[in-house]
Amino acid sequence: MRASEEALAKKRFFAINLMRVMGIAFLMAGFILIAGRWELVGQPTDRYLGIALVLIGAFDFAVFPMLLARRWRSPRDL
């Protein structure tokens, strides 16, 4: 593996893990909004925003990293 390929792999690894961390942050913020512990605009709007954040966070944590990994997969040697 050349140095440029290694640097690209490190950047991609960082991006995938950053997506997972952001997903966790969205999940936590969403659950806090749903529980009513944090007020942005008042209920019931905060609850709806919390639900949206939970759904986005779940996608960012579980699905999006797999999509990135599939897109960036190295070609197989023939």
Q: Is 33 part of a structural domain of the chain? A: yes
Domain count for the chain: 1
Q: Is 34 part of a structural domain of the chain? A: yes
Please tell me the pTM assigned to this model.
0.83
Q: Is 28 part of a structural domain of the chain? A: yes
Instruction: Say yes or no to pLDDT of 16 above 70.
Output: yes
Task: Give the mean pLDDT of 36-45.
Answer: 90
Instruction: Say yes or no to pLDDT of 78 above 80.
Output: no
Closest among 34, 60, 61 to 45, alpha carbons compared: 34
CA distance 38 to 40: 7
pLDDT-derived band of residue 77, with 50, 70 and 90 as boundaries?
low
Q: Is 30 part of a structural domain of the chain? A: yes
CA distance 48 to 13: 33
Q: Is 48 part of a structural domain of the chain? A: yes
Identity of the amino acid at 9: A
Domain extent for 43: 18-71
Q: Is 61 part of a structural domain of the chain? A: yes
* Residue found under tokens 């529980």: 35
CA distance 39 to 67: 33
Q: Is 9 part of a structural domain of the chain? A: no
Q: Is 12 part of a structural domain of the chain? A: no
- Contact 49/40 with Cβ under 8 angstroms? yes
